[in-house]
Amino acid sequence: MIRRPITRSWTVVLGCLSVLLLLAGYTWVSHRQHQVNPDDTTIPNWSQLYEGVKKFTQPDRKEKRWIVEDSIATGRRLFLGLGLGVVFGFAIGMMMGCITPIEAFLQPPISLLAKVPQTAALAVYFVFFGTGMEMYVAMIAFGIIPALAVTVHLAIKDLPSEILDKAYTLGASHFEVAAEVVLKQILPKFIDAVRLSIGPAIVFLIAAEMVVGDVGFGYRIRLQFKLTNMNVVYPYLVMLAFFGFALDYGLRFLRAKLCPWYQRDSK
Amino acid sequence: MTLSDQNNFGLQCEGVSHWFGETKVLFDLNLNVDAGQFVALIGPSGCGKSTLLRAILGTHPPHRGKILTLQNGRLANADRPGRDRGIVYQKYSLYPFLTALDNVALGLKFDQTTTAFRWLNWAGWGKKRREFRDRAAAFLEKVGLGQAMHLYPSQMSGGMQQRVAIAQALIMEPEIILLDEPFGALDEATREELQEMLLQFYEENKEAMAEGRKPPYTLIIVTHELNEAIRVGDRLVGLSQYWDWKADGHNRSPGATVVYDKPAPVFGPDERPDYELFADIRQDIRQVVYNPEVLQRRDEHVNLNPTS
């Protein structure tokens, strides 16, 4: 039968199994490679990986720990960019959804901008914002604003007009309809949209760091890749994955806390 | 307007006409509703019941004519939705993100506090919120939902949802409450329970009038069930496009208007009417309102004082 439910313990067992298989597969491939070339660094074995981890967690010649430097640089860029993008994306979407002249005014540029690949537009950001903090922040923010604004705008347009008219009959002001009815009703969809925008935001940031960064995850990965120090590159990728996962999990938690009503289909 | 006028006034529709391009919908419709009346609005599908309701609600004001309600103690045109008119839809009446209790308390919050008050005066708002929730809880108790106060709409059955929706509109005691086929999606047994609930509110109206107060609940209920109209309404208003417009000098149908307007028998909430007894009323309505073959003068069955 399609979608037959399985028990919780089976879910856990199968999930762990797939991760173990992945690790075992890697170990085997790495082993084969080292039989051919004992000095290989493209598919490092576990002891090489351990060396790599030591390399970026111990202070280097300049007494700096890469992992700390890179995390701080990349984290600040990402969170500032995401923060600005989320605030402006939400505000623009709300205004487009609630105020029809603004909708008519902003719809053409927003829907066009949503289609521009940010990584292809890197040069534009270099020209306008240099290669400092502003560039990263602007690129992430502008990269996610159109998608977020479009999501919020469409979510508002999907609301049945009944619930807005109803609010007016209960004595709500325009502001109250926007802040207490529209906002609360679209909040879970907005949080989901933010979750989806984290992926692109990281892509934009890493790409930009690879091209012009002097510190950060993208910079480190590119540099270590040039030296074929894959024992640094792989752990960095794993950390990026875990970071993205944690952020997504946090937002899901936030959604469950803020919108306990959402996706309750029990009757 | 004197106070006693105000105590009697519910709604006034004067010469309301509406059309969509070439399609004439409403023609010169006049309807005065007194405070405390339960008007059952009936008519064939496509006769413009919804158009009239949306015109009264103010989301789609009519092209011609006036719709007046009491707004802050003065007669004013109902050209946008406002606090003086309540609405209960067949669905989408409740806010999915609020529990039953907060859905009912929402109107009190919107009506009696401002955003600035809620944001700046936390202590005052906390006190008010408790007061509103207590009132909402008492009201839900009254409609038999004391146990379900903390459920979200998605956790409630259709009948419970409509009870909450009615409580949400009625707790505001607006000048007039519009119910747009409120029980249309419910099964027969639930439907009857909800009709009984509405009749309880009619009892409150009677008490208020006996004490010389303004009756708190005035409604227009749109329904396609004649028995429901007869049981819940104390007045039956039939809207129809089938009337003798040729006699009025039109060469094509100018739209629907009120062709039937008579008092209906009144029942207590515990009274199960014997619908067999109303066969003649139903017969009458089917002829006058629903039958396209039978065309009569528009005022022939508009008779609010059956003694005359």
Whether pLDDT at A264 is above 80 = no
Mean pLDDT, chain A, integer: 92
pLDDT of residue A180: 93
* Pairwise CB contact (< 8 Å): B82 & A172: no
Of B59, B92, B107, the CB nearest to A170: B107
A-chain residues near B155 (CB < 8 A): 264, 266-267
Whether pLDDT at A266 is above 60 = no
Instruction: Sketch the domain layout of chain A as residue ranges.
Output: 59-258
Q: Which domains does chain B have, with CATH numbers?
A: 3-35+49-280+296-302 (3.40.50.300)
Name residue B29's amino acid: L
Taking the C-alpha atoms of residue B108 and residue A258, their distance in angstroms, rounded to an integer, is 23
* Pairwise CB contact (< 8 Å): A169 & B85: yes
pLDDT of residue B308: 38
What is the value of ipTM here, to two decimals? 0.90
- Structure confidence at residue A267 as a pLDDT band (50, 70, 90): very low
- Structure confidence at residue A265 as a pLDDT band (50, 70, 90): very low
Interface mutation vs chain A, best among B71, B95, B103, B156, most A CBs within 10 Å: B95
CA nearest neighbour of B10 among B216, B212, B264, B306: B216
Tally the C-alpha atoms within 13 A of residue B213's C-alpha that lie toward its C-beta.
9
CA distance A158 to chain B (A): 13
* Pairwise CB contact (< 8 Å): B110 & A165: no
DSSP letters along B210-234, please? Answer: HTTSPPS--EEEE-S-HHHHHHH-S
Whether pLDDT at A120 is above 70 = yes
Taking the C-alpha atoms of residue A32 and residue A43, their distance in angstroms, rounded to an integer, is 10
CATH match for A59-258 among 1.10.3720.10, 1.10.1200.10, 3.90.1150.10, 3.60.150.10: 1.10.3720.10
B20 φ, ψ to 5°? Answer: -115, 100
DSSP letters along A90-115, please? Answer: HHHHHHHHH-HHHHHHHHHHHHHHTT
pLDDT of residue B61: 92
Tokens of A157: 């347009």
Prediction pTM value: 0.87
* Pairwise CB contact (< 8 Å): B89 & A265: no
Backbone CA torsion sign across A127, A129, A132, A138: negative
* Pairwise CB contact (< 8 Å): A162 & B93: yes
Residue ranges in chain B modelled with pLDDT below 70:
1, 304-308
- Separation in Å, CA A135 to CA A76, A112, A201: 13, 21, 13
Of B81, B114, B154, the CB nearest to A261: B154
pLDDT of residue B307: 45
Is there a contact between B52 and B27 (Cβ–Cβ < 8 Å)?
Answer: no
- Separation in Å, CA B224 to CA B221, B257, B279: 10, 17, 16
B-chain residues near A184 (CB < 8 A): 95, 97
